[in-house]
Amino acid sequence: MTRRLTSWIDSANTADTDFPLNNLPCGAFSTDDGPARCGVAIGDRILDVATLEETGALAFGGALQTGNWTRFMGLGPAAWDALRSTLTTALGEGGDTALAAHLVPQAAARMHLPFRVSEFTDFYASRHHATNVGTMFRGAENALPPNWLHIPIGYNGRASSVVVSGTDIIRPHGQLKGPNDDAPRFGPSQRFDIELELGAIVGQPSNRPISVAEADANIFGYVLLNDWSARDIQAWEYQPLGPFQAKATATSISPWIVTAAALQPFRTSTPERAVPLLDYLAEPGPMLYDIHLAVGLTPQNGTETIIARTNYSEMYYSSAQQLAHHTTSGCPMRVGDLLGSGTISGPDRDNRGSLLELSWGGKEPLTLPDGTTRSFIEDGDTLTLYGHAQAPDHRIGFGSCTGRILPARS
Amino acid sequence: MTRRLTSWIDSANTADTDFPLNNLPCGAFSTDDGPARCGVAIGDRILDVATLEETGALAFGGALQTGNWTRFMGLGPAAWDALRSTLTTALGEGGDTALAAHLVPQAAARMHLPFRVSEFTDFYASRHHATNVGTMFRGAENALPPNWLHIPIGYNGRASSVVVSGTDIIRPHGQLKGPNDDAPRFGPSQRFDIELELGAIVGQPSNRPISVAEADANIFGYVLLNDWSARDIQAWEYQPLGPFQAKATATSISPWIVTAAALQPFRTSTPERAVPLLDYLAEPGPMLYDIHLAVGLTPQNGTETIIARTNYSEMYYSSAQQLAHHTTSGCPMRVGDLLGSGTISGPDRDNRGSLLELSWGGKEPLTLPDGTTRSFIEDGDTLTLYGHAQAPDHRIGFGSCTGRILPARS
């Protein structure tokens, strides 16, 4: 396991910062209502790399002048490595302290979507999650669909609904029909939920089937991802063509893209296979990462309770396998495609990455410290995802991915 | 029913041209390997409206200089009406014959995607199609899913896979598992198919739930759409989250956007409702169009056979209803969103808009005039969609939407 790299920026040298010199995640920030600018997090600061390119200290053909990281990602791995290497030296001990002029306090910055989301695909690839949901929806004997152990099951989501952490989420309306209702009605979702996921960001295009190794190399980095889900809308609409409006209200992502390069020391393997996978899904090495994940729930005017803890290593399929599968049909992939891992649940009750699972479909509500209970999200609740990879003396953190639920439109 | 408007361009004045002065569809063309330019079809010519804007004869703030119609659509209905009105006068009898200098023969032009596809949604909204497919997949007693008469069922497709008519389509690979196979295998699809659809193009954005009337007003125009579908991949992958790689190889669209304005005289109503629809789906007037549709199949080195004829008026839900439903959750819609109607089938066998239905899942293959049979598409086959609305003395045509199937990658 790697050691913490020391920076001349003190706040980057603590054991509990999400953003030590080893991390260097990419985001888009603004100050004083100015336009979004490319920045890199370091300790409690943001290095304004857009200005550094303007001054000639960095040279990526203007890619850092676009207000987000899409064009930079399109430059490819050599550029990704060059930026990381340059910043590691410049921000390290003995580096270029004149860069202090280009550091902005994170507390003074507003964060924006770090890339243009080309298309959004969501997967269903945590075995505990699929088993839990399948048991509730189809019974224990039909919990895992017959294809699940063979295919990284995915569906296309809605890119226009992806928002950056901190954006308020309006409770959706939709068609609702309970099992005992004669007919559907139209109204606000009563079973609005989170999905704790990691999002992989495609940084290089492809227009033919690619291998798992190629797919892994095309992933620029990862974000926390909360795929807000209306379970009551979903239950009525999802047969036979899958979720649609239940998943189209919003998907929140964390503002900092943690690069695959920063996560490299935390590689871990997918689990032993229950049945052999087809050759095109074979992994050239460990393709998951050991990333601790947690979900916090904060009632309006209340304090936060951590309601779930799990780990990205619980996935049955890696993002690289998902991306490789995504290309099998010849489907063109583009820079900025976002691949949701699928809800990540572990084996125990408090490892579950959705309220649907945590409350077992509402049958076993959670009790919060203030004495109130939750089966699903209440208006005014704030839900926050956290994630970090842990080394002995530092962590590679994602920051947080948060959203507050506002009442449905009247 | 309207009369044919007479143009000073003779080829626009025949009863069988797809592009009389009443039509004026919008496309993107190039000649001699130049860049794509905005053009409007008239008879057998294309009016180069990009050049007209350069010369000052048209003024849309440079929107026609972008090589496609996305920015122009974003200008909104007043601009749409202004362009149509200006061109109707200029190309009409007594109009501006000096524009002849800006006419390009369609035969000399290469066509491109007429707009940037933001996202692609595909619906499942023809009752005959849903009944046919449901009967084959789930049995006659479960043919229509319980939600089908209440919801315009849709799923998100893959915008990156949308191609313009004329693009060759490579037969996809995928996971395949027949009902009697022990395990899936990976190989070329053996049941590759068409879906005869109309595509509606969203020309104005929205970020809240909108009414059917608002949705109708936001639709700029329509194209023919062939959602190539691998039935064997679909059968194995689609439960529980819907089609994914089965529909991601390609979706072909015709190069000319026929505007809603041009189709206005051909309005027709959706059918009587089997059960009442919820209020948010109520239509303010006739929302469908009477558009004749046909599918031609041309074997390699062979001649074309029309294998199906149907009509867009067979839809149970209109594009306006589909778009309104799409916004119920708060899902943001953007200029350039493409909404596939879903496969359009009529009541009779030769009205079916897919080979899956025409051959009844391969059990009743079609026999072509050359004596060969087809259950699904063979390598080298060219499939072509045709569409037009018929007035007594003219037609509003879509041109064609064609694609040839190449063998799977080796």
Please report the pLDDT score of residue A248 as a whole number.
98
Residue found under tokens 């899913």: B145
CA distance A259 to chain B (A): 24
Minimum mean pLDDT range among A264-273, B113-122, B131-140, B393-402: B131-140
CB contact under 8 A, A243 and B241: yes
A113, A131, A158, A329: best mutation site toward chain B, by most B Cβ within 10 Å?
Answer: A329
H helices of B17-126, in order, are 49-54, 70-74, 77-91
Please report the pLDDT score of residue A179 as a whole number.
87
- Decide if B359 contacts B139 (C-beta within 8 A): no
What the block records as the tokens of B206 is: 């929205």
pLDDT band at A120 (very low <50, low <70, confident <90, very high): very high
pLDDT band at A33 (very low <50, low <70, confident <90, very high): confident
Any binding-site annotation on B247?
yes
The number of C-beta contacts closer than 8 angstroms across A and B is 190
What is the phi-psi region of residue B56: left when phi exceeds 0, alpha when psi lies from -120 to 50, beta otherwise? left
Any binding-site annotation on A247?
yes
Residue A95 pLDDT > 70, yes or no?
yes
pLDDT band at A256 (very low <50, low <70, confident <90, very high): very high
Average pLDDT of A51-69? 97
From the list B172, B279, B329, the residue facing A330 with the nearest CB is B172
Average pLDDT, chain A: 97
Of B102, B112, B128, B129, catalytic: B129
Please report, rounded to a whole number, the percentage of residues in chain B having pLDDT higher than 90: 97
3-state secondary structure A39-80: EEEECCEEEEHHHHHHCCCCCCCCHHHCCCCHHHHHCCHHHH
ipTM over 0.90: yes
Average pLDDT of B9-38? 97
Any binding-site annotation on B343?
yes
Please report the pLDDT score of residue A137 as a whole number.
81
Residue A23, CB-side half-sphere exposure with 13 Å CA sphere = 35
- From B331, B370, B288, select the one nearest B156 (Cα to Cα): B331
Residue B343 pLDDT > 80, yes or no?
yes
Average pLDDT of B184-204? 98
CB contact under 8 A, A250 and B330: yes
CA distance B397 to chain A (A): 30
A129 is catalytic: yes
CA distance B7 to chain A (A): 42
CB contact under 8 A, A161 and B332: yes
CB contact under 8 A, B184 and A147: yes
The full set of domains in chain B, from first to last, is 10-112 (2.30.30.230), 120-406 (3.90.850.10)
Residue A74 pLDDT > 70, yes or no?
yes
Any binding-site annotation on B97?
no
Residue B269 pLDDT > 90, yes or no?
yes
Any binding-site annotation on B393?
no
Q: Cis omega (within 30 of 0) on the bond before A240?
A: yes
Question: What residue in A sits closest to B230 (Cα-Cα)?
Answer: A329
Q: Between the CA of residue B232 and those of B134, B181, B185, B236, what are the distances in Å?
A: 15, 13, 11, 7
Dump pLDDT digits (tens) for A295-341. 999 999 999 999 999 999 999 999 999 999 999 999 999 999 999 99
From the list B119, B280, B325, the residue facing A158 with the nearest CB is B119
CB contact under 8 A, B332 and A240: no
Of A112, A128, A129, A325, catalytic: A129
Average pLDDT of B173-180? 95
Residue A107 pLDDT > 70, yes or no?
yes
Q: Which helix (H) or strand (E) element contains residue A223?
A: strand A219-227
Residue B220's CB is within 10 A of a number of other CB atoms, namely 25
Average pLDDT of A250-268? 98
Residue A67 pLDDT > 80, yes or no?
yes
A305: which strand partners? A297
Q: Rounded to an integer, what distance in angstroms lies between the CA atom of residue A269 and that of residue A271?
A: 6
Dump pLDDT digits (tens) for B41-83. 999 999 999 999 999 999 999 999 999 999 999 999 999 999 9
Minimum mean pLDDT range among B122-131, B132-141, B239-248: B132-141
